[in-house]
Amino acid sequence: MFFNMLLGYARDSTDEHTTRLQLDALEAAGCERTFSERASSATAERPVLADLMNRIQEGDTLVVWRLDRLGRSLPHLIETVQKLEAGGVALKSLTEGIDTTTPSGRLVFHLFGALAQFERELIRERTVAGLAAARARGRKGGRPPKLSAEKLRVAQRLLKDPDSTVSEVARTLGVHRSTLHKALHGAVAKTVNGVGRGLVRAG
């Protein structure tokens, strides 16, 4: 476990020289420990970052050479920054001069909160527009539409927003509330069963 420490994280996908540059900058910034990850284009997984996020403690500071080292995409970057804020972890980005231990730096957390809300609204708008267009092209009337795998993934994403409800998302997707409710429970049951089978095999 780490307590009230400066922890550095470096990531690069191709250039070993750039990775060394990051590590040197992090050490010069006073990081007591540094973690390096070589990301692969074949997978979006970042196990070193995931492990660091699980270990880092309230009062610690995560230091990166550049802000984009923390996320494979803007939504992922927003999610990571919000996890840091929720855990009471400060963030420093050397290239951008961001330091959330300062009053002006703390505005970064508010900015990312606004970006997260903006991203959720964009998802909602695109979902509504896409479904409206699909309904216009497809048949009207008849039996209530079923919930496709794609719609279920969209529903799960929308429901990550604490302000969203099953009824609201069901209306957005153009399906009955009970249809969405059954699909969500089915997805959870499938996940639990998969984990159970994995534990049995491991045992």
pLDDT in tens, 58-72: 999 999 998 888 877
140: pLDDT strictly greater than 60: no
128: pLDDT strictly greater than 80: no
What pTM was computed for the model?
0.54
CA-nearest of 183, 95, 109 to 146 is 183
Whole-number pLDDT of residue 3 = 53
- Count the Cβ atoms, other than its own, within 10 Å of residue 116: 17
145: pLDDT strictly greater than 60: no
Q: Are strands 6-12 and 33-38 parallel, antiparallel or unpaired?
A: parallel
Q: Residue 18: how many CA atoms within 13 Å on its side-chain side? A: 12
Cβ atoms 94, 25 nearer than 8 A: yes
Q: Are strands 90-93 and 98-99 parallel, antiparallel or unpaired?
A: antiparallel
44: pLDDT strictly greater than 90: no
200: pLDDT strictly greater than 50: no
pLDDT band at 9 (very low <50, low <70, confident <90, very high): very high
Structural domains in the chain? Answer: 6-113 (3.40.50.1390), 145-202 (no CATH)
Element spanning 41, H or E: none
pLDDT band at 192 (very low <50, low <70, confident <90, very high): very low
Greater confidence (40 vs 112) lies with 112
Element spanning 13, H or E: none
Whole-number pLDDT of residue 103 = 82
Residue count of the chain: 203
Average pLDDT on 80-96 reads 89
Which residue's structure tokens are 């045992």? 203
Q: Where are the beta strands (DSSP E) in 48-164?
A: 61-64, 90-93, 98-99
Share the mean pLDDT of the chain: 76
Which residue's structure tokens are 């409710």? 181
Tell me the pLDDT tens digit for each residue of 94-106: 988 888 888 877 7
112: pLDDT strictly greater than 60: yes
DSSP letter, residue 93: E
Phi-psi region of 172 (alpha: psi -120 to 50; beta: other; left: phi over 0): alpha
pLDDT band at 40 (very low <50, low <70, confident <90, very high): low
Tell me the pLDDT tens digit for each residue of 170-182: 877 777 888 888 8
Greater confidence (185 vs 117) lies with 185
How far apart are the C-alpha atoms of 68 and 66, rounded to whole Å? 6
The answer to whether residue 164 is catalytic is no
- Token digits of residue 31: 């990081």
Active-site residue among 13, 104, 148, 178? 13
